[in-house]
Amino acid sequence: MSEEVINTAEELEKKEILKRYRQLLKSAKRVKGKEDRKLIREAFELSVEYHKNMRRKSGEPYIYHPLAVAQIAAEEIGLGATSIACALMHDLVEDTELDLKYITKKFGKSIASIIDGLTKISGVFDEKNSPQAENFRKMLLTLSDDIRVILIKICDRLHNMRTLEYMSRNSQLKIASETLYLYAPLAHRLGIYAIKTEMEDLALKYTEPESYREISKKLSQTKEDRDRFIRSFIRPIKTELSKIGLKFVIKGRPKSIYSIYSKMKKQQVSFEQVYDLFAVRIILESEVEQEKRDCWNAYSVVTSIYKPNTERLRDWVSSPKSNGYESLHITVMGPKGRFVEVQIRTRRMDDIAERGYAAHWKYKENSNEVSNYDNWLNNIREMLENPESNALDFVEEFHTNFLSEEVFVFTPKGELKKLPVKATALDFAFEIHTAIGSTCIGAKVNNRIVPLSHVLNNGDQVEILTSAKQKPNKDWLNYVVTGKAKHGIKSFLKEEKRMAAEMGKEILAKKFKNEKTEFGKDNIQLVSNYFNAPSELDLYYMIAKETIAKKDLKIRQIINESQLLQREHMVQSMKSSSEHKNKLENLRKEHIIIGDDNVKLDFSMAKCCSPIPGDEIIGFITIGEGIKIHRSNCKNAIALMSQYSYRVINSRWASEKPVEPETYETLIKITGIDDIGIVSKITDVISKDLKVNMKTIKFESFDGTFEGTLTVFINDTSHLNDLISAIKSIDPYINVTRQSVD
């Protein structure tokens, strides 16, 4: 390439960078005054300078990425100058020679703190630790100081998802899985619904490309019919809303691709059978003090025109979600017997729903909104202050407690409590107070006595029953999902264990004294190892509870035997540790080809998803069970890739098929209209026509319909598709789906 061409390309890139920078300033509605513009300009110039020799996987200048992240922060969330400056510099400390000291000196402690929260933890992690989990916890720890760290990180993740096409297939799966498991739910709980929806759709595009393409294509094909239907649906609503003097905007929009995919999977139906493919949103122009009245007036108008399904009414106007989301959701029967979801909200509510936390500052005079948000953040801070949980436990707990949907329940006095879905009566007890939870013997739910493990539903009224004689036990951990309840139970058990251990320690000390042996740390450790006690505390506890009998505490004999074993183990350990380290490192680099006899690796198929040839797969290095092979879209695989991506290895099926193909167990579910001989027809097609062996078969009949599950032996996905098509051809009402164990 000539020097002239290179110079021209560089000039074009410089012009494009300036163009994007000007576009950023134009989008930054909250940037006012010279000081704000100066801060953004200095951040931009520093980022351009230190990223000038860096390129992205796409080949574009690296500076395009921080500019895009800042653009999302400014335009799609509505953040201010400090956030935009931090977005422009978010990768400087991690990817260049600049350090936090320089950032602090030039921009101050506040900006340096945000950038520190956005910088990944560097260091060596063994197989028991997850760098992803550690980095996620580090980012969340900044919640106590500045939520902007998380908002910028969400902008960063969204741009990475938008440019994921340039990454390797393995990286696409890891990043998309992590986004589905953590970042999309986090955006949802922060109320940034537009970004949450886009993240989910993009993640589906890479984890389930065929499903994504199919739904996208069908949405496109049905657009004209859908638009025509929406126009006819909203016409009478517009007329009636205008008559009562309301100012409004009505929008019709399709549900997101991910939302439709989730419904298809959950309800096990086809695209055509999803009845609410789109929603109509009514956005009212209302004064704050008239919002509730106007929303319910609009509700009355809609339900006077179309018959509502009262079971599907969701009133988040009277009881907003913990992240401040407010809206009335109703499902009505529209023309041609089609169900339509209608969302009713005001302009303020819609702004908060689309842009989340940042929008709250525009409406800070409404104290109720801020308190809802602050309450949610305070609960997270309470969890962050628990120093005992490791990073992986923390991420799992955070996902369960703060990224899941909520149930709304009431105390006997009518006070509203919000808990995660699947919360139990015992969770509710601990939510009221740790002392109430610790002495809980049961509960009355809607005046009916239920056990501690009873799962609560929306609208339940719960009264907790206590007894001074009651105390927590280990089984209680199986009954709770909230971090507050788990922490309360574990704290009690730990204290009880500590008190018992004190007695055990006294017993052991007397044994040492009787045998005239030093009661020192090294000797105690030898006794712990001899009895396989995980810690010194556990040893004392086992003695107190007589898991270790007093007659077996022959101290001198134990110490002599332990010292001999310790020397032998040390020699063996030195040999095996280097071998294990090399093996783990090699496995990470190895590109496994499943089914190729030349590759001798210890792997097995994961039972949760039962992969078969033709499925896209990943390998996961387990502790003690070799490599587990999962389907890449398996729910468990998505969770694993989101937390342990460094233990995921590329895997694919061998291209050459063996002379005698191996068969794989596959679970299928069949539903349809019950008829005489239907089961016989199905089994004939499977075993006689297609010569497929069956391992298990179970059919049940329900009021004229049937449901069956079969475990069959299949060669590959092509073989499975032929089987499914053959069964469906028996009767037009038969539906067949492949099932996962999970």
Active site residues: 94-95
Please spell the DSSP secondary structure of 336-393, one letter per residue.
GG-EEEEEEEEHHHHHHHHHTHHHHGGGTT-HHHHHHHHHHHHHHHHHHT-TTS-HHH
- Cα dihedral sign for 478, 483, 487, 489? negative
Question: What φ, ψ does residue 197 adopt, rounded to 5°?
Answer: -65, -45
- Contacts of residue 478, defined as CB under 8 A and 6 or more positions apart, other chains included, come to 453
Please spell the DSSP secondary structure of 169-216, one letter per residue.
HHHHHHHHHHIIIIIHHHHHHTT-HHHHHHHHHHHHHHHSHHHHHHHH
Residue ranges of alpha helices (H) inside 590-662 are: 635-643
Neighbours of 312 (CB within 10 A): 13
* Residues 397 and 486: beta-carbon distance below 8 Å: yes
The two tokens of residue 434 are 């740790």
According to DSSP, residue 75 is labeled I
The two tokens of residue 4 are 């002239």
The CA-atom distances, in angstroms, between 656 and each of 597, 605, 718 are 11, 19, 15
| CA–CA separation, 100 and 392 (whole Å) | 27
Q: Are strands 314-315 and 339-346 parallel, antiparallel or unpaired?
A: unpaired
| CA–CA separation, 639 and 630 (whole Å) | 12
Please spell the DSSP secondary structure of 95-137, one letter per residue.
HSS--HHHHHHHH-HHHHHHHHHHSPPPS---TTS-HHHHHHH
| CA–CA separation, 319 and 35 (whole Å) | 41
Name all contacts of 52-57 with Cβ < 8 Å and 24+ positions apart.
54/95, 56/163, 56/166, 57/163, 57/166, 57/167
Q: Are strands 339-346 and 278-284 parallel, antiparallel or unpaired?
A: parallel
The two tokens of residue 210 are 């065929």
Amino acid at 31: V
